[in-house]
Every structure is written in C-alpha cells, then in structure tokens.
Amino acid sequence: AQKVTQAQTEISVVEKEDVTLDCVYETRDTTYYLFWYKQPPSGELVFLIRRNSFDEQNEISGRYSWNFQKSTSSFNFTITASQVVDSAVYFCALTLYNQGGKLIFGQGTELSVKP
C-alpha cells in the first residue's frame, strides 16, 4: 500500500527564517509522481510542484526549493526567507502511474509565519 507521511503537524517561524517541510512516502512501484500543494484559509489547494520518480533533480522556484531523494523516499520542501503570506497548510501527495488521478495525501503541515 502507498502512504505519505508528514511528521510535522505544525511549524511556527518568524518572518525571514528559512523553513523545511518534510515528506516521506512509501510505495513499491517504480513509476510514480510526487506533488506539493498549498492550502490557504480560503480552502482551495494550490498546486506548487509535480515531480516524477525518474527525475531526482532538485528544483528551485523563487524562494521555494524541493529536494527529492529516492534513497530515503523523501521529497522535502524548503521556503527561504519566509513571509507572512506563506502561512498555510502544505500537503505532500503521491500518485502511481497506473492509478491515474488518485492522489494520496499526507496529513499536512500547518505553517505559521509571524511578523
């Protein structure tokens, strides 16, 4: 069975601090996709990144960066110089190649960035 674990339930930082959100996944399949979504208080899940299992290159997008390591089954997300607008719940998710659009989500990490 597949599983996604986000061990950090809540994280609180002060603005401009760097913060890393951890994500560990479990699957025996070799072809899968990993995602990160942001859920602000409005409720809508905002897509941040999609990564396939054959692409272990780290990615940077502005203040956001992602570290994918198959050896440890982790797909961690770092926000550099956090801002108050980054406050939200962040979800890591997994889908298998043969399961179409079925996303398996972690429990989410609530990030609070204080001014």
Partner 1 sequence: KAGVTQTPRYLIKTRGQQVTLSCSPISGHRSVSWYQQTPGQGLQFLFEYFSETQRNKGNFPGRFSGRQFSNSRSEMNVSTLELGDSALYLCASSLAPGRSEAFFGQGTRLTVV
CA–CA dist 36, 42 (Å, integer) = 17
Q: Which is nearer to partner 1, 53 or 82 (CB)?
A: 53
13 binds partner 1 (CB under 8 A): no
Q: Which is nearer to partner 1, 68 or 91 (CB)?
A: 91
67 binds partner 1 (CB under 8 A): no
Determine whether 112 is exposed, middle or buried from the number of CB atoms within 10 Å of its CB (0-12, 13-18, 19+): middle
Q: Which is nearer to partner 1, 36 or 82 (CB)?
A: 36
95 binds partner 1 (CB under 8 A): yes
> What is the nearest approach in angstroms of partner 1 to the Cβ of residue 63?
20
Question: Going by DSSP bridges, is the β-strand pair 109-114/10-14 parallel, antiparallel, or unpaired?
Answer: parallel
Q: Which helix (H) or strand (E) holds 33?
A: strand 32-39
Tell me, what DSSP letter sits at residue 1?
Answer: -
Residue 90 phi/psi, 5-degree rounding, is -110, 130
Q: State which amino acid sits at residue 57.
A: Q
Q: Which is nearer to partner 1, 4 or 19 (CB)?
A: 4
41 binds partner 1 (CB under 8 A): no
Pick one of 2, 67, 99, 112: the residue that binds partner 1 (CB under 8 A).
Answer: 99
